[in-house]
Amino acid sequence: MTSNQDCQQTGIECWWNALPGPNTASVAWNSTPDTLLYISVVLPTNVLWLGAQANAVMVRWTAPYAGNYSITGSFQANDTYESKVNVGILKDGSTFLLTDSFSSFGNAKNFALSNIPLAAGTTIDFELAYTDTANSDNASLVASIDLLK
């Protein structure tokens, strides 16, 4: 993302590519203690919202230390308009650790990956990919990455 812009609703922080629809790509976070409705999206508190809209959106984490890690969490379809959503978790931008899709509001794809060996500096990407329409291509993400002892 190239910009950190104010969203049109109080309590939502977002980063976006500053392009007009349908080419907008964004990542947003609900910083309030309440679930918010943003356009047609139900956005719970403390989740990242990934909006692809004719693009792919990715959130990247970099391993600070070498070791085995667990990666847990979920993607959830949170747009009240139904649309197919493709999600994935990639290691170093090329090796898929998970790939899945869903198309109904409220559907969640939980993931629990354990004993994933990572070198220091290895990246883990959480990705939402553009599907067959530029509308409603979004999902929320909750993730935890922990170094195993």
Neighbouring C-beta atoms of residue 5, cutoff 10 Å: 15
pLDDT at residue 4 tops 60? no
Tens of pLDDT, residues 58-107: 889 999 999 999 999 998 887 766 667 789 999 999 999 999 887 777 78
Relative to beta strand 108-118, strand 67-76 is antiparallel
Structure tokens at 54: 């004719």
pLDDT at residue 54 tops 90? no
Domain spans in the chain, listed from the N-terminal domain onward: 3-147
Q: Please state which architecture CATH assigns to domain 3-147.
A: Sandwich (2.60)
